[in-house]
Amino acid sequence: MRDISDIFDNRVLMIALAACLLAQGIKLVIDVIRNRKLNVQVFVTTGGMPSAHSAFVTALAAGVGQTMGWQTPEFALAIVFAIIVMYDAAGVRQAAGKQARILNQMIDELFDEKHEFSQDRLKELLGHTPFQVIVGSILGVTISWLATAAY
């Protein structure tokens, strides 16, 4: 059982999780400012500014580079993983969100009079703009650098 508790001693992982949670918290604050009401569901949803996925994986990659070395296979693995996640967030998932928006609009327009469409609306906010990904990645690297400097 000791092995499982060792996970919480992994400083790089804890810093990456903190960066992810901070990004989600920033999304919540932005949503409160934008909509003038608290919607805690925003804290656990995907999409929006900044990209928590990007903050998470860039904090992880930066932490691996800082602790293991920038020339190591571990850093190479972490940075490739980060690039794939960020590309997916800004590409595939954003495209899926656009498709969901169009499908929802089509359903609304085709069945505007008391339709008996039983399916839930598709989630439209899935991915990120490239700017949201960049801001998330800057946040992740910054959190990693600050946490390492404080340590």
Decide if 25 contacts 45 (C-beta within 8 A): no
Question: Other C-beta atoms within 10 Å of 53: how many?
Answer: 26
Is 35 among the domain residues?
yes
Q: Which residue range(s) make up the domain with 132?
A: 2-91+127-150
CA distance 82 to 86: 6
Is 142 among the domain residues?
yes
CA distance 61 to 77: 8
Is 136 among the domain residues?
yes
Is 137 among the domain residues?
yes
Give the torsion sign (CA, 74, 47, 92, 96). Answer: positive
pLDDT in tens, 82-131: 999 998 887 766 666 677 777 767 767 666 666 565 566 655 555 678 88
Contacts 24+ apart (CB under 8 A), 41-46: 45/125, 46/93, 46/125, 46/126, 46/127
Is 16 among the domain residues?
yes
Is 110 among the domain residues?
no
pLDDT in tens, 2-58: 678 888 889 999 999 999 999 999 999 988 998 899 888 878 877 788 999 999 999
Question: Other C-beta atoms within 10 Å of 57: how many?
Answer: 26
Q: What's the total number of domains in the chain?
A: 1
Is 106 among the domain residues?
no
pLDDT in tens, 93-103: 666 667 777 77
At residue 21, the pLDDT reads: 95
Confidence of residue 151 (pLDDT cuts 50, 70, 90): confident
The pTM of the full predicted model, rounded to 2 decimals, is 0.77
Is 48 among the domain residues?
yes
